[in-house]
């Protein structure tokens, strides 16, 4: 230990040896303008740095609160990086966030939002409202608008005004509505939601709708898959439901298809 400490002591010139050995090439000039030139997160042009991302997340209000559901697949271009990503951020006892876009951006800014909501609670002795939480997130990411962030988050919860649902993205766009779906599989999820969504639903009907929407998105979108993760936000907090494998849901929603063993039914070819 002493030898390591001696190696890190100052040399005759007053500089650390470690600092002299490590040299990093920095981006010349304005970092923001450099990122805007070489990065593209919306697939609108060819760029040196192109963000590849895909997911399916959704949330909607209904009679008994807010239902939040996501898939769990993380991709790097055409490569599946993980099937077990938790895309729901538990901000506090009444507030949830969802992740869509760059995993690092969503995870980091989700934690920042959690910190800000906790500080608000300590200062004001009460939980933050859904609208205020989403506004904090929008204000924070506005400072980095155009700098290459890739993020589309939903903030869902329950406060004094009842159920709340907001969408915030990396361009600091902030919207509120009764229903949102975000990610590469959102178009398929919207097809199910638009056909069957109604506000006056019970809990079980809402859960089935969210489950079906996520399943159909994962079935048609190669960048979505894994498991269905569902949360119900109500006046007393939120409830997390058991995870459901989308591959098993396929046979649940297509009962006419039977699982067979290839060894029991060998392929036969008729001779010409």
Torsion (CA) 233, 235, 237, 241 in degrees, nearest 10 = -40
C-alpha 66/C-alpha 62 separation (Å) is 6
Report which of 101, 162, 164 is spatially closest to residue 134, judged by C-alpha positions: 164
Phi/psi of residue 142, each to 5°?
A: -60, -35
Report which of 227, 215, 174, 170 is spatially closest to residue 191, judged by C-alpha positions: 215
C-alpha 256/C-alpha 13 separation (Å) is 79
Task: Point out which residues pair with 74 in neighbouring strands.
Answer: 82
Which one of 55, 56, 57, 218 is the catalytic residue? Answer: 55
Residue 55 is among the residues annotated as catalytic for this protein: yes
For CA atoms 176, 182, 188, 189, the dihedral sign is: negative
The residues that are catalytic are: 55
């Amino acid at each position: 230990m002493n030898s390591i400490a001696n190696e890190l002591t100052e040399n005759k010139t007053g500089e650390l040896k470690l600092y002299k050995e490590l040299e990093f090439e920095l981006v010349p000039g304005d970092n923001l303008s450099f990122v805007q030139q070489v990065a593209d997160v919306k697939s609108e042009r060819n760029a040196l740095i192109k963000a590849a991302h895909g997911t399916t997340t959704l949330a909607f209000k209904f009679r008994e609160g807010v239902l939040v559901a996501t898939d769990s697949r993380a991709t790097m271009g055409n490569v599946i990086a993980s099937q077990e990503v938790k895309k729901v951020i538990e901000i506090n006892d009444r507030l949830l966030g969802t992740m869509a876009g760059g995993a690092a951006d969503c995870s980091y800014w989700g934690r920042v939002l959690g910190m800000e909501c906790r500080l608000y609670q300590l200062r004001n002795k009460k939980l933050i409202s859904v609208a205020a939480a989403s506004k904090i997130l929008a204000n924070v990411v506005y400072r980095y608008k155009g700098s290459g962030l890739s993020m589309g988050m939903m903030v869902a919860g329950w406060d004094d005004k009842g159920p709340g649902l907001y969408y915030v993205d990396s361009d600091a766009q902030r919207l509120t509505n009764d229903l949102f779906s975000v990610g590469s599989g959102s178009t398929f999820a919207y097809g199910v939601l638009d056909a069957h969504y109604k506000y006056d639903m019970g809990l079980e009907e809402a859960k089935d709708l969210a489950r079906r929407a996520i399943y159909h998105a994962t079935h048609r979108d190669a960048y979505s898959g894994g498991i269905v993760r569902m949360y119900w936000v109500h006046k007393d907090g939120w409830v997390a439901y058991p995870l459901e494998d989308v591959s098993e849901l396929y046979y649940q929603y297509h009962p006419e298809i039977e699982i067979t063993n290839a060894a029991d039914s060998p392929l036969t070819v008729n001779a010409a």
